[in-house]
Structures are given as C-alpha cells and as structure tokens.
Amino acid sequence: MQHVTLNNGVEMPILGFGVYQIPADRTEQAVTDALEAGYRLLDTAAAYGNEEAVGHAIKNSGIPREDLFVTTKLWVQDAPAQDNTRRALETSLAKLGLDHVDLYLMHQPYGDVYGQWRAMEAANREGLARAIGVANFHPDRLLDLILNNETTPAVNQIETHPFFQRAADHALMREHQVQHQAWGGFAEGRNDLFTHPVLSGIGEAHGKSVAQVVLRWLIQRDIVTIPKSVNPDRMAQNTAVFDFALTDDQMTQIAALDTGTTLFFDHHDPEMVAWLSKRRLEQDRS
C-alpha cells in the first residue's frame, strides 16, 4: 500500500474503502470483506447511518487499532455549533466503538462553519481526531477557512472522476498542503464510464479493468481514493493497482475527458444549499 503524509505528519493510505450508500445491515460484512482484502483506510460518516456497523467490523477483525485509518464526518450542526460539534463527534466515536478517529471531516460547507471548525481544532488538540479536514469545499470556501483559522485542513474530500477532474481545486490544495481526496471516483458509472472507449482501451493495453485504470489515474495524481463495493472479488481487484503505471500519453488521454461539471449536484445551487443546510440526521437517514 502506498501512503501520503498529511500536513501534520500523519500518514494516510492512498487507497481505502468507502461505505457511502451501503445499507447498515450489509455494512459490517462489506467492511469485514474489505479488511480481509487488505484495506486499512475506512471512510464513513454520521450521515451514512452505518457507523455502528463499521465499528462492529473493526472490533471483530482482530486488526490492531494502530494499523487502521478510520475517517468519519460531521454533519451540519445547530447552534451552538461548537457544543453540538463536540457532541456529534462523541456520538460518532461511541457508535464506532473507538476512542479516536484518524480523520474527522466537516461534511458540508454550511452552517456555522467557523464554530464547527473551532470545535474540531479542539478535538484535534485533545487527540480525539488525529487529523481534521473538510469535504465538498470549493476553492473559495477552502481558502477562506485556511486564511482565517489556525489549522489548515489536512484533507478536502470532493467529487473527482475522469469527467470532473478538479484541476484548479487540485492546484490550490497542493499550494496550501491540503490533501486532495476523491469521492465518486467511478462517477457511479455515469457517462458509461465502465465501457468508455478511451478508458477501456487503456485498460486493454495494461490487462486491467476500467475501474483499475481510474484508480491508477487518481493515485498517479496523488489523490486519495475510497472505492466502494460489496463484492469481495471487486474489492480485491480494486487493490491491484500498484503493479502498473499509466504513461504520460494515457494520462493526457484521460485529461481530455474532463467536462468541468459535476455529475451529481452543485454546492452553489441555492436549492441544494437549502436542502443540505436544513437536513437533520435524527429525522432523515436517507
């Protein structure tokens, strides 16, 4: 496994296992299978409703805690944001059965971002989170947070795939030592990703699948990625991406696929901002 070093010196695997949209009743088995396949980075969130299942799989795995890298995420908190952020983290830790997480991310750039961030900084100082970061922050929001706070986010987890490559975001993060992490690396199969002629052709040249080509492309861009699967064979296949490398020409071919547009939802869309800002987890686990 290849690792990246975050801006506070913490090491993070560049390839992990995500559990977004895996139902809670299937998550424990999926995580168990992922750990058996060799994954050591696990990515969940309070909003996913499956932290407890992730925790059960960790407990039953027998893998030493120090060998695992566990990420969870903070949902938008009501005022007072600092107090509620601390309670949210404590709730997540209890569900996971852990005394700390390796990375705690602010899931959305809404609400009292500064209050939430101050509470996250305190949790980092106390050792409840070895590193703290954000998710879904566009460059303007990310830079604002960096310039006006003591701690620079260690990670920004954003939609990143061959059709939305986030080159400008990537450059800004590199400049400010924020690790770029991808969600939706396979674009959930949209735009016929798994049968795309460019990606398929590159895969054939290496004897690899399209999924492996996409993961390799992300890794060669120094982007941490967290593919999801409930199929043990695919989990294992997704880890077999360190025995080949894409050529400069192949990287250029993939770069040409960028549309510069989200395939899911726009965090600048007022309707989406309103929906995400008003959502409360105790009322909605969808």
For residue 180, what are the CA distances in angstroms to 19, 24, 75, 126, 251?
A: 19, 27, 20, 25, 18
Q: Give me the helices (H) in the chain, please.
A: 24-36, 51-61, 81-96, 113-126, 139-147, 167-175, 197-206, 210-220, 232-239, 248-255, 270-278
48 is catalytic: yes
Quote the tokens at residue 138.
């566009």
Strands 11-13 and 3-5: antiparallel
- The answer to whether the bond into 23 is cis (omega within 30° of 0) is no
Exactly one of 48, 104, 110, 114 is catalytic; name it. Answer: 48
Place of tokens 């002629």: 197
Q: Using an 8 Å Cβ cutoff, are 236 and 246 in contact?
A: no
Which amino acids are annotated catalytic? 48
